[in-house]
């Protein structure tokens, strides 16, 4: 295991390597999945560099040994320290939709925690992820760390399954669909291997009656269409209070009408997105783009569909592309009922002019069911490097990113040392000393319990005397 100082040196060298190769990384991403350089810069490279800097500053402190305070008085002579050790060997099965940012953060956390890492690049983004792994490996040499700290497997769909069947890992990280996540969870369960599953959400943007409808329309449309709609934390539906529905639609219509075609990584998904939109329109919904255009070789025009029937597949969000279902609702309770019916939550946004009503309502936050709740924005605030993503249910399990994600890749060991001179006596003391120790250790609670017992005895005796007099 390399020292924490060496890992920090690696982190800084990795940051310099990423910064020096931004153009090459952007071109590799464009070749892999068609993302334009500006999108790669803002959606991938800037968040990754921010995460690298956070880990160099705050992540290192999280991993340093620390004194555990709060010992009891009867533990005199004892000292307790918490030490974070690596879990061992980590497998990262990378995803393609954010090939640099997501893999980069996971790689940083696994290596900084002291682990050896095997990366299985996505078959859809092999160039960009190979380049990122090469930059991480080059930084190892600069930090004087072993070359096998980071290795790469084949970028094929079969490679991940073969690795899980053939090799032994101490932790597995997977980002992707719920269907594949279930298979990986089952595979890990056979060997009792802990895993982090960052799976997709099918989330909502909830626009309350006091919201700014123009701001909400712009922010939600941006979130629903960024990265060609291929974002697991993007809203699939906008649940809009009827009091602002007309204004929201009026602000959203020109945005949808001006949208240009985008290319999805999966041509079949582009066809599915269009088919779901057509089905909603066939059942009474209205396309804000005008005429619905078919997908062509994976390219489609982003769509906003207003007045969707509540039970249609588009509202259920079974798509992964730039189509937004708009549903008018009768207040917050109605919106929550629709939102909860979907049952797959990762990042939920709420739009209101009174954000404190959301922040100060734990019951509402619990009802939203997401680990990330954004107010008056969607997606962008979740890129904060210190915040974690924690799925639940069909959205996955385990934490990634932030302090929780970093510590999840460590094994906390508590080390206690006891003085040879000042120690807790091991022999049973005489009854008088036991009574004194009981009073001292349990304090007020013990005295109150004794007083309650005495009152109970007194009341019992009084009731007995009263009964005797009646007879």
pLDDT of residue 463: 62
pLDDT of residue 291: 86
pLDDT of residue 343: 84
pLDDT of residue 109: 98
> What are 306's strand-pairing partners?
286, 326
**Domains in the chain, please, with CATH?**
4-199+400-414 (3.40.605.10), 203-377 (3.40.309.10)
Q: What is the pLDDT along the chain (471 residues), one digit of tens a residue?
A: 789 999 999 999 999 999 999 999 999 999 999 999 999 999 999 999 999 999 999 999 999 999 999 988 888 899 999 999 999 999 999 999 999 999 999 999 999 999 999 999 999 999 999 999 999 999 999 999 999 999 999 999 999 999 999 999 999 999 999 999 999 999 999 999 999 999 989 999 999 999 999 999 999 999 999 999 999 999 999 999 999 999 999 999 999 999 999 999 999 999 999 999 999 999 999 999 988 999 999 999 999 999 999 999 999 999 999 999 999 999 999 999 999 999 899 999 999 999 998 999 999 999 999 999 999 999 999 999 999 999 888 999 999 999 999 999 999 999 999 998 888 888 888 888 888 888 887 876 655 665 565 565 566 666 666 665 565
pLDDT of residue 229: 96
pLDDT of residue 392: 87
pLDDT of residue 468: 58
Predicted structure pTM score: 0.90
Q: How far apart are CA 386 and CA 59, in angstroms?
A: 9
């Amino acid at each position: 295991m390399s020292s924490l100082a060496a890992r920090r040196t690696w982190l800084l060298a990795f940051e310099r390597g990423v910064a020096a190769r931004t153009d090459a990384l952007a071109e590799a991403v464009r070749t892999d999945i068609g993302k334009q350089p500006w999108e790669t810069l803002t959606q991938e490279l800037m968040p990754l560099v921010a995460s690298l800097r956070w880990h160099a500053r705050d992540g290192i402190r999280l991993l340093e040994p620390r004194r555990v305070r709060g010992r009891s008085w009867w533990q005199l002579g004892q000292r307790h320290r918490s030490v974070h050790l690596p879990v061992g060997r980590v497998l990262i099965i990378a995803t393609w939709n954010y090939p640099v940012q997501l893999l980069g953060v996971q790689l940083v956390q696994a290596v900084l925690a002291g682990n050896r890492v095997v990366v299985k690049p996505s078959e859809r983004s092999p160039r960009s992820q190979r380049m990122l792994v090469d930059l991480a490996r080059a930084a190892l040499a600069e930090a004087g760390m072993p070359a096998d700290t980071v290795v790469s497997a084949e970028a094929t769909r079969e490679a991940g399954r073969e690795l899980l069947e053939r090799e032994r890992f101490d932790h597995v990280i997977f980002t992707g669909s719920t269907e594949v996540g279930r298979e990986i969870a089952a595979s890990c369960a056979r060997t009792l291997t802990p895993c982090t599953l960052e799976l997709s959400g099918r989330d909502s943007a909830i626009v309350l009656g006091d919201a700014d409808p123009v701001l909400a329309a712009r922010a939600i449309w941006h979130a629903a269409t960024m990265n060609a709609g291929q974002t697991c934390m993007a809203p699939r539906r906008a649940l809009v209070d009827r009091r602002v529905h007309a204004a929201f639609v009026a602000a959203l219509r020109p945005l949808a009408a001006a949208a240009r075609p985008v290319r999805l990584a999966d041509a079949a998904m582009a066809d599915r997105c269009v088919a779901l939109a057509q089905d909603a329109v066939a059942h009474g919904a209205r396309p804000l783009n005008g005429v619905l255009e078919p997908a062509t070789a994976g390219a489609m025009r982003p769509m906003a569909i207003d007045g969707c029937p509540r039970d249609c597949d588009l509202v259920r969000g079974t798509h992964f592309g730039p189509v937004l279902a708009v549903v008018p609702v009768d207040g917050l309770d109605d919106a929550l009922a629709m939102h909860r019916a979907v049952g797959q939550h990762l990042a939920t946004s709420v739009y209101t002019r009174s954000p404190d009503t959301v922040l100060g309502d734990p019951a509402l936050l619990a009802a939203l069911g997401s680990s990330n709740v954004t107010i008056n924005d969607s997606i962008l605030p979740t890129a904060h490097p210190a915040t974690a993503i924690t799925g639940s249910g069909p959205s996955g399990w385990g934490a990634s990113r932030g302090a929780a994600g970093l510590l999840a890749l460590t094994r906390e060991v508590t080390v206690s040392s006891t003085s040879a001179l000042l120690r807790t006596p091991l022999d049973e003391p005489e009854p008088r000393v036991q009574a004194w120790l009981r009073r001292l250790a349990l304090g007020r609670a013990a005295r109150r319990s004794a007083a309650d017992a005495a009152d109970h005895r007194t009341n019992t005796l009084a009731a007995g005397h009263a009964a005797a007099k009646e007879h």
